[in-house]
Structure 1
Amino acid sequence: MSQQSNEALRLKGRVRIGVPGTYPSPVAHAIRMLARDLEAVLGAEPELVAEEEAAELRIRLAAEEDRCPERPEAFGFRSHMAGGRPRMDIVGRDELGLVYGILEFSRLHLGIQPFWFWADQSIAERPEIVIPPQDYDAPAPKVRYRGWFVNDEVCLIGWKEPYPPSREVWEPVFEALLRCGGNMVIPGTDLPRDGIHYKLAAEMGLWVTHHHAEPLGAEMFLRAYPGRTASYQEAPELFEALWQEAIEEQKDMKVLWVLSFRGQGDKPFWIDDPAFDTSEKRGAMISRVIRKQYDMIASAVRNPVYCAALYGEIAELYKGGYVDLPEDVIKVWADNGYGRMVSRRHGNQNFRVPALPAADDGGKHGLYYHVTFHDLQASNHLTMFPGPASFLKREIESAFEAGADEYLLLNCGNIRPHVYTLDVLRELWNAGTIDVNGHLGQFVRDYYSSHHDELAALYQSYAEAALPYGPHEDDLAGDEYYHHPARKIIGHWLQGKGDEPHPRLAWAVGDVPFEEQVKGFEARLEQGMGRWKAWLERCSEVLAQLGPDERRRAADQLMFHGALHLSGCEGFYWLCRSYREYRRERCPQAFVFASESMWAYQKGLDVLRDAEHGKWDRFYRADWLTNIESTVQNVDTLRRFLRMHGDSPDFFLWYKEYLMPVTEKYIYLENTHRNPLSDDELAGRLKEYFQQEGML
């Protein structure tokens, strides 16, 4: 019989951990993590012993006398004297409770942070860990279902050779999510169904859920039935067969079943089925399909949990009263991709309709929220969320106040670039609120050993340096702003369409003549260059004061983002300047500015390569979404095009006109000057000449 301990527990050397005779796979994974953490900190592998044997730590399900809170996932610590020696018990109400208890012990007492892997936390060995005797019960998290959608995960796909990504890639993702207190996941986007991602997520104790374009996690209709018309009206039995197959595959797993009906390729279904030409018809079909899915699940699954994504057109129809949902379905509201709880922009349309439940909208509600986004316009994909933590606090806390606190799914992208923002949301989904300054101070102390105030100031001023591109506070440029519009401009230009506006740029610079569209970008980018240069100068000053390991970490977690912004800003700016010179029929100057653009964009590729050290080798090789390499190639094509204007066919004329010594220009022999300069060398020498002559 053990008694309450009043003596500190001292852990050193090979710690003995008492474990139950049998335990489920999620607990086995957590024990493996704890053993690894103890070995990293104390320098010795712990010993697992039977639960009843003498041990410094014991892991077990909570007993009645523990008075552990009676709710799912509850956990606590209990200090005991056993055999005259202090012991700590990690107790959990269920398997996830034990997992969270083990990982929270690791965080509190070993200092292993949630993003230790993704932020390259330096873990120092210690001779001893002293734990005061104190019982503890973890508070209930604010949000019942909280997790990540690992979406647009091209870096995770390209990082290692196997496709789909293997256990080696997914385990650190799911471990970080569990360490954040998360309990659900959409593990990837449209990955092959034979991959390990869903199986491993369940094996580690996570609920799995589904993309709103893949209701019930079923296979896409056109993938299963190529060549058929994807119309539920015409072939309901084919859709239902896919849904039934998905139910059978997952009925014994922990699943948050997503009920939805969108068209193939994540678009409104009526684009492929134009007979649904009114809101009444569209809403009735969505309601009918969702009710059918709901009933199919109910007949096969005990106590199912349902949710419906009110995303895009479905949110608009629901708010209009055209969609009817069963009462026990969690209604999931989405932000606009930039963190604001309003409808997202579609092309040039941006209605910004509020996307939160009305005061009289009963039932349970939740959120789908982006800390990263891919929309081929202005989103942040490779770089950190550009807005301040105070903005995230206001949006999420306001959503909670509106009743949307049952479910919070974060689009987490490729994890590594978004660690700080994900940690902000970790605090919000657990505590329901956040002191942004206090959290930031703790965050930098958790991952750095010195210069905490200076590092915190860099995180704060990062958002201040972000480039505003529109009138709203969430209109802040992410990395895609410098690349997708730039490539559109190059294509429009080289296709000879400069006399007409580019219709897909109106969202950013208006439906004005193309030349004015380019000038609109140029004016904003010039401002952005100054802001990011100043931020990077401050960043360099702080990093110079850090030790080598922490300087490397800060380069990856901070300077990386500003450097990508600056290279993109400069590249896009010089592209716009090139077009201005081209319109003035000054092709040599346009060629120089196009080269400046390419060199600046190339710096972005250099930033990616520099961040691929050690375990991160090749992490950014699959940058297919922002696609900096494609932008470099596009600008290179442009400058080759420009060189055709005036330097063709021998590619010697600009050299002769501007660079050849006067003493040679009129007497040289044609047959001795046949080796034209490379584009880079010619551009560099022309730049120097034009600057000296005041021609740039």
Structure 2
Amino acid sequence: MIVCSPLAAQDGYVRSENIPGSFPLFAAGTVAPLYVSHDDHAGVVLAAEALVQDLYQVTGSHPVLTMDAAPAARHVVVAGTIGKSPWINDLVERGTLDVTGIAAQWESFVVQTVEKPFPGVDQALVIAGSDKRGTIFGIYELCKQLGVSPWYWWADVPIAKRSALYITPGRYAQGPPAVQYRGIFLNDEEPALGRWAVAKYGGFTHAFYERLFELILRMKGNYLWPAMWWASFNSDDPLNPTLADRYGIVMGTTHHEPMMRAHAEWRKGGQGPWNYETNGPTLRHFWTEGVKRMGTRESIVSMGMRGDGDMAMSESTNIALLEKIVHDQRQILHTVTGKDPSRTPQLWALYKEVQDYYDKGMRVPDDVTLLLCDDNWGNLRKLPPVGDSLRTGGYGIYYHFDYVGGPRNYKWLNTNQLERTWEQMHLAYRHGATKLWIVNVGDLKPMELPTEFFLDYAWDPTAWNATTLADYTRQWAARQFGPTHARAIATLLDTYTKYNARRKPELLSPGTYSLTNYREAERIEADYVALTQQAETLAQQLPATHQDAYYQLVLHPIRASAILNALHITTARNHRYAAQGRAATNALADRVIALFAEDSACSYYYNRVLAGGKWNHMMDQTHISYTYWQQPEHDVLPVLKRITPLQTAALGIAIEGDTAWWPQEKRQAVLPVFDSFQQPVYAVDIFNRGSVPFTYTVEAGAKYIRLSETQGTIDTEKRLWVSVDWQQAPKGLHRVPVTIRGPGDATVVIQALVQKQSLSKGEIAEGFVESGGYTAMEAAHFTRAVAGDGIHWQVIHNLGRTDAGVITLPVTAPASAPGKPGAPHLEYTFHTRQHGAITVSVYLSPTLDFHNTGGLRYAVSVDDEPPRLVNLHADFSQAAWEQAVGDNILIRTSSHNLTPGRHVLKFWRVDAGVVLQKIVVGNNVPASYLGPPESYRFPNTSNE
């Protein structure tokens, strides 16, 4: 049996070349006819009709779809469900079709070329499903292999024409899926998706949902929580639930909408308070009507109860009352369906405070799926114990790509790294939470990439591991845009999501990135500028047919993110310039206003021009100038500063690493240390505080100090670059004055501290070298990785804020004893000039204590000292959690006594689930958002 991974279109079974035994799906201008029995499921017929349309788009020829006559052509396509299609049953009974491994399985299918299957038929391409969705998925897998993206309508992905289509002979099977129910949740749909749906369809009607049902099925999903802020899926349009069942979509309601009732229905017609103690009979009647309306359609019933409108229950709520609510709800299920409640799929979502009830002892029957949740920021809160198979209802996961709530909404753009999603959902998979996965995708657009990855990974988690995630993005890009530019586009996608995950756009402010240290803000802005230029250059190389899709999926999120980051950083510079009285202050205010207009223009193009205005309102989401967790009603221009420059020439000097300016500041101006290993270049801003230009000169007190220029004229400002000629510089620490003279007798002397290491590069075999009072080491750049106890280290490239993340596998391994011989640990060799008590700061992904054991742990030791145990969650108050998710990092520290020289820092694995991103050794390290850039490292490529 040949098993195809969910994203194997490039290496799949559809070819343009005719090799011996191939099935001619499209040859000599003719498409093979398609046969589907009218006895089969309605959803199979709908999928077959979609295949007909796809074949027409690909070939320009319409295949014939027949449902009421036996196959009767030399080459035919036959699709059907085992037990429903007479033709499939006949092939199985005669042993002509091999259904080994898929028969009686959940949502499985086989695609097989069969010789002489029926009288008068030379060859058939047979798509056989184990059940309704098995067949549907088999049909849509063929569509995907034809080159039709699931996003052909939802992102205007063009469909490439083919001159011939041949199916390579063989047997191709998929299924059963690893996760039984795989779905999405449309949420937080105002102001974007909701307005768009109203404008295009008059609301969330069946015309809207038909498009969505097809998209979900094309991605091998099967489950949906519909939009619900103001809409009611079942009552707004009675065709909604009917068509969901016909297509094959399992319906549910959200974690706070029990018994198949939308909360909007209660707001519109509910009688009395949403309180079971005081209004139980009314609520029971309300819920009973929901179950009656559900009928026999495939559904998963949400159980339990939260407060009105997705709020927490009152503090007086007790576990006995909640258990009674579930008991009464199950009685309703029994009464209405006439079946034991265990025969109706149910879930209980341990969302927010509901998990606290569970942890305090609340229980529901074992046939109810426990839907475990993340913290709304992509960090799983709880996982089942390893090997727990006692619950017949199993465990599921509710995950977020979008959220409304504290510490800040994030809804505007995709900020979800596939690497982090993989790492967290890999934990869920390995811990056996595989009954149901559902992800909050917000407005759906622009979450196209992470949505498809989530569903693909739910289908087959073994298809994608930590080393192949870049391949996923590349293959996804190839499916949208073709193979020629797929690698470049994948790099753009992976990079912009990494940048946006550093801090979500809604959380950005002028103070996010440091203007003072490491030129951090400038580097961030330059990163986005370079990425935008790459995206725009690539856009020019794509044909016109690809431009709309490229703008939606690639160019817009990159360009819009670049504009927003530049807006906040320029605002920060405007404020600093005003404080320093720089003549360029007002020009920066103008620049911010221009960026604000550019942001608006980006949204306007997306809404009104893109694809002929098809997506109007999809970029209505506000994202500038939040003041608390909730979104502003309108984007608001940041507060800007304007000044009146002096009516003369006035010298001002600002240096890298300091917030002050000279000559106002009375203390000495000192640049950060120039180190012979790091070999930095530092910036000095020479600026005018007045409106009259002036000339200046710069002179260094030693010939080995290099200056980008030594004289010039200043209208508003100019940047001077200072560096060192290390061939000429003497060994040791030296202080060299750099003198800047301006108008009149204005003079500023800057001290350059030059440290030429006494050790040469050749004298240090490996490791990092301290510079500027710290040693910064990226997690993936370890000197040595020591495996042990059946545990090994795994680098996840691109994960995290700066470089990569490092985890241990398997994630289900028990805790390790740090310091024990052979215990798993990473080693980082470094060289320091410091002595005494030194702080080691460890940067970690903001993982939660998902086993509720008192906190995840790691340990650190230097050289042969005993490991110091550190608990990630020793302080995990509300404020600490908000900082961790807002910054997308946890920083934990330990203190160690060092002497100058070579040392080996050991990072010991204790608990699974810890994701290491970076280590910084040093006291009083200059502050910045991302932490200091990596220190100089001697080559050691054993881990790359």
1:176 offset after TM fit, Å?
1.5
RCO (CA 8 Å, sep 6+): is it higher in 1 or 2?
A: 1
1:46 offset after TM fit, Å?
1.7
1:358 offset after TM fit, Å?
3.1
User: Hey, what does 1:415 align to over in structure 2?
Assistant: 444
Q: What TM-score does the superposition give when structure 2 sets the normalisation length?
A: 0.57
User: Hey, what does 1:300 align to over in structure 2?
Assistant: 336
Paired residues for 1:96-115 under 5 Å: 96-108=133-145, 110-115=146-151
Paired residues for 1:285-684 under 5 Å: 285-301=321-337, 302=339, 303-321=343-361, 323-342=362-381, 355-359=382-386, 362-363=390-391, 364-375=394-405, 377-378=407-408, 380-387=410-417, 389-433=418-462, 434=464, 435-449=468-482, 450-466=484-500, 468=502, 476-477=503-504, 479-482=505-508, 519=511, 528-577=524-573, 595-612=590-607, 613=609, 615=611, 617=613, 619-621=615-617, 623=619, 625-627=621-623, 635-636=636-637
Paired residues for 1:243-322 under 5 Å: 243-270=287-314, 276=316, 281-301=317-337, 302=339, 303-321=343-361
1:694 offset after TM fit, Å?
3.7
1:561 offset after TM fit, Å?
1.2
The equivalent position to 2:195 in structure 1, one of 149, 158, 176, is 158
Paired AA for residue 600 in structure 1: L
User: Hey, what does 1:125 align to over in structure 2?
Assistant: 161
User: In 1, are the aligned partners of 2:40 and 2:80 still within 8 Å (CA)?
Assistant: no
User: In 2, are the aligned partners of 1:173 and 1:415 still within 8 Å (CA)?
Assistant: no
User: In 2, are the aligned partners of 1:308 and 1:329 still within 8 Å (CA)?
Assistant: yes
1:179 offset after TM fit, Å?
0.9
Higher helix share: 1
C-alpha separation in 2, matches of 1:57 and 1:34: 11
User: In 2, are the aligned partners of 1:151 and 1:412 still within 8 Å (CA)?
Assistant: yes
5+ long unaligned stretches in structure 1: 343-354, 469-475, 487-517, 647-653, 660-686
User: Hey, what does 1:668 align to over in structure 2?
Assistant: none
CA displacement, residues 108-158 of structure 1 (integer Å, 9 cap, x when unaligned): 3x2223223234332222232111332333221110011111222343322
Residue 23 (structure 2) pairs with residue 9 (structure 1): yes
Label 1:452 to 1:481 Cα distance change in 2 as closer, same or farther (>3 A): same
The equivalent position to 2:256 in structure 1, one of 195, 213, 235, is 213
Paired AA for residue 58 in structure 1: V
C-alpha separation in 2, matches of 1:565 and 1:559: 10
5+ long unaligned stretches in structure 2: 1-18, 83-88, 626-630, 649-688, 694-713, 719-944
C-alpha separation in 1, matches of 2:294 and 2:599: 43
Q: In structure 1, the residue corresponding to 2:318 is in which secondary structure?
A: helix
1:187 offset after TM fit, Å?
1.9
User: In 1, are the aligned partners of 2:474 and 2:490 still within 8 Å (CA)?
Assistant: yes
The equivalent position to 2:65 in structure 1, one of 48, 53, 68, is 48
User: Hey, what does 2:123 align to over in structure 1?
Assistant: 86
CA displacement, residues 183-225 of structure 1 (integer Å, 9 cap, x when unaligned): 1111212314313544432231100011112112324385156
Label 1:219 to 1:418 Cα distance change in 2 as closer, same or farther (>3 A): closer
User: In 2, are the aligned partners of 1:57 and 1:87 still within 8 Å (CA)?
Assistant: yes
Q: Rg bigger for which structure?
A: 2
Paired residues for 1:63-78 under 5 Å: 63=89, 64-65=92-93, 66-68=97-99, 69=102, 70-78=104-112
1:45 offset after TM fit, Å?
1.7
CA displacement, residues 6-60 of structure 1 (integer Å, 9 cap, x when unaligned): 8322123243222213443312321221110111112122212234131411222
1:536 offset after TM fit, Å?
1.8
Instruction: Compute the RMSD of aligned alpha carbons.
Output: 3.5
Residue 78 (structure 2) pairs with residue 58 (structure 1): yes
Label 1:177 to 1:162 Cα distance change in 2 as closer, same or farther (>3 A): closer
The share of aligned pairs that are identical, in percent, is 19
Label 1:162 to 1:106 Cα distance change in 2 as closer, same or farther (>3 A): closer
User: In 1, are the aligned partners of 2:55 and 2:63 still within 8 Å (CA)?
Assistant: yes
Q: What TM-score does the superposition give when structure 1 sets the normalisation length?
A: 0.76
User: In 2, are the aligned partners of 1:595 and 1:636 still within 8 Å (CA)?
Assistant: no
User: In 1, are the aligned partners of 2:539 and 2:547 still within 8 Å (CA)?
Assistant: yes
User: In 1, are the aligned partners of 2:137 and 2:218 still within 8 Å (CA)?
Assistant: yes
User: In 2, are the aligned partners of 1:74 and 1:92 still within 8 Å (CA)?
Assistant: yes
C-alpha separation in 1, matches of 2:426 and 2:435: 13
User: In 1, are the aligned partners of 2:185 and 2:224 still within 8 Å (CA)?
Assistant: yes
Paired AA for residue 48 in structure 1: L
C-alpha separation in 1, matches of 2:292 and 2:271: 26
Paired AA for residue 106 in structure 1: C
C-alpha separation in 2, matches of 1:227 and 1:20: 48
C-alpha separation in 2, matches of 1:213 and 1:144: 22
Label 1:121 to 1:628 Cα distance change in 2 as closer, same or farther (>3 A): same
CA displacement, residues 320-356 of structure 1 (integer Å, 9 cap, x when unaligned): 32x21111111111112332213xxxxxxxxxxxx22
User: In 1, are the aligned partners of 2:582 and 2:690 still within 8 Å (CA)?
Assistant: no
Q: In structure 1, the residue corresponding to 2:349 is in which secondary structure?
A: strand
User: In 1, are the aligned partners of 2:183 and 2:439 still within 8 Å (CA)?
Assistant: yes
Label 1:283 to 1:530 Cα distance change in 2 as closer, same or farther (>3 A): farther
1:564 offset after TM fit, Å?
1.9
Higher strand share: 2
Structure 1, 588-597 or 61-70: larger mean CA deviation:
588-597
C-alpha separation in 1, matches of 2:266 and 2:136: 40
Paired AA for residue 371 in structure 2: V
C-alpha separation in 2, matches of 1:79 and 1:138: 15
Q: In structure 2, the residue corresponding to 1:233 is in which secondary structure?
A: helix
The equivalent position to 1:237 in structure 2, one of 281, 286, 301, is 281
User: Hey, what does 2:772 align to over in structure 1?
Assistant: none
CA displacement, residues 519-568 of structure 1 (integer Å, 9 cap, x when unaligned): 45675866542332232233234334333333553332112112222222
CA displacement, residues 445-490 of structure 1 (integer Å, 9 cap, x when unaligned): 222231232222222322443363xxxxxxx32x3224xxx6xxxx
Paired AA for residue 308 in structure 1: W
1:609 offset after TM fit, Å?
2.5
Paired AA for residue 493 in structure 2: Y
User: In 2, are the aligned partners of 1:76 and 1:92 still within 8 Å (CA)?
Assistant: yes
Paired AA for residue 613 in structure 2: D
C-alpha separation in 2, matches of 1:151 and 1:562: 24
Paired AA for residue 440 in structure 2: N
